[in-house]
Amino acid sequence: MSRFDRWMEESARSMARRTSRRGVLGSLGALLVGVGALPLLPVARGAEKPAKPGKSDADHQDATQDETRCDYWRHCAIDGYLCGCCGGSASACPPGTVQSPVTWVGTCHNPADGIDYVISYNDCCGKSSCGRCLCNRNERDMPLYVPFRSNDYDWCTGSSVANIPYHCSTARVLARAT
């Protein structure tokens, strides 16, 4: 199975799970100010495959606390390779990359404590694509003409050191949302 096939399957499963919990998120009042990090790959909803049998609600809950998963709570508006899968973490860049100072900010709901947090999606730059754990979630995403709410830009563009070579995306907690 190619990387893209795997990604498409994972994305489809992730989307399916996310769709099912959208009502829950809505009722909790989660505000997903969607913006992303980089050129993205849209989700293959048309090619969606059913979730693998045996996946339980417990698995689903765990995914929201696993920074290597697309379903991780901080990734509510991320778009790209997850730095937690690339030698970094949800907040730290992998060795040898540069964290872009230009960022966009979203608000994600943490189901573990029931609190909304402001999330800063800084990209890690200066190397080729990490290629692992591709994740694209488009909540509240806007077109390119609303730049700081659009996940279609490569936000490494703001890095004077590394410029546009995009490696992966972090999802840093900035503060509790008020």
Q: Enumerate the active-site residues.
A: 104, 123
Q: Which of 16, 31, 41, 105 binds other proteins (CB under 8 A)?
A: 41
The single residue listed with the structure tokens 């840093």 is 172
| Closer residue to other proteins (CB): 89 or 163 | 163
φ/ψ (deg, to 5) at 51:
-60, 150
> What mask of x and - would describe binding to other proteins in positions 119 to 148, judged by CB under 8 A?
-------xxxx-x----x-xxxxxxxxxx-
Considering the complex, what minimum distance in angstroms separates the CB of residue 81 from other proteins? Answer: 9
88 touches other proteins by CB under 8 A: no
- Torsion-angle region of 60 (φ positive above 0: left; ψ -120 to 50: alpha; else: beta): alpha
| DSSP notation for 92-133 | SPPTT-EE-S---EEEEEETTTTEEEEEE--EEESSS---SS
Q: Per rule CB under 8 A, is residue 31 in the interface with other proteins?
A: no
Of 39-47, 53-61, 63-71, 82-90, the segment contacting other proteins by CB under 8 A is: 39-47
The residue (of 10 and 66) whose beta carbon lies closer to other proteins is: 10
User: Residue 99 and residue 170: Cα distance in Å, rounded?
Assistant: 9
Residue 111: φ, ψ to 5°: -65, -20
Instruction: Give which of 93, 112, 121 is closest to 32, Cα–Cα.
Output: 121
Q: What is the closest distance, in whole angstroms, from the C-beta atom of residue 32 to other proteins in the complex? A: 9
Number of residues engaging other proteins in binding (CB under 8 A):
44
Q: CA 90 to CA 84: how far, in whole Å?
A: 5
Q: Whole-number minimum distance, CB 143 to other proteins, in Å?
A: 4
**Chain-centre distance for alpha carbon 81:** 8
Interface with other proteins, residue 42, by CB under 8 A: yes
Q: Is 164 in the site for other proteins (CB under 8 A)?
A: yes
DSSP annotation of 52: P
Task: Give the nearer residue to other proteins in terms of CB position, either 56 or 81.
Answer: 81
* Residue ranges that bind other proteins, judged by CB under 8 A: 3-4, 7-8, 19, 22, 34, 39-47, 102, 126-129, 131, 136, 138-147, 152-154, 156-158, 162-166
